[in-house]
């Protein structure tokens, strides 16, 4: 599956970022309300598993998936 292999790197300029912040920062969604809805509705995956915690702290190397796009948290 070529889609599974395609992962874009998103540099965050640090070592940790919260999931909700990252979704906006990476350009997945443009408002906190949309971010909250997507997370609560189980549309966001972190490292291959649905995560419904908007405040989850992502670490470098974590892979976030949403709407057919996968990105890796980078320094």
Task: Express each pLDDT in 31-69 by its tens digit.
Answer: 999 999 999 999 999 999 999 999 999 999 999 999 999
Give the pLDDT confidence score for residue 4 in this predicted structure. 56
The per-residue pLDDT for 44 is 98
Model's pTM, two decimal places? 0.90
Q: Residue 73: count other Cβ atoms within 10 Å of its Cβ.
A: 24
Exposed/middle/buried for 64, CB within 10 Å: 0-12, 13-18, 19+? buried
Which CATH code fits 2-74? 3.10.290.10
Rounded alpha-carbon distances, angstroms, from residue 38 to 12, 13, 54, 63, 75: 21, 25, 10, 16, 25
Q: pLDDT digits over 1-34, tens only? A: 445 569 999 999 999 999 999 999 999 999 999 9
């Amino acid at each position: 599956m070529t889609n599974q292999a395609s992962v874009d790197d998103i540099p965050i300029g640090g070592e940790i970022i919260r999931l909700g912040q990252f979704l906006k920062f990476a350009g997945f969604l443009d408002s906190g309300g949309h971010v909250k809805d997507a997370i609560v509705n189980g549309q966001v995956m972190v490292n291959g598993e649905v995560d419904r915690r908007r405040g989850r702290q992502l670490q470098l190397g974590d892979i976030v998936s949403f709407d057919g796009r996968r990105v890796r948290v980078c320094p």
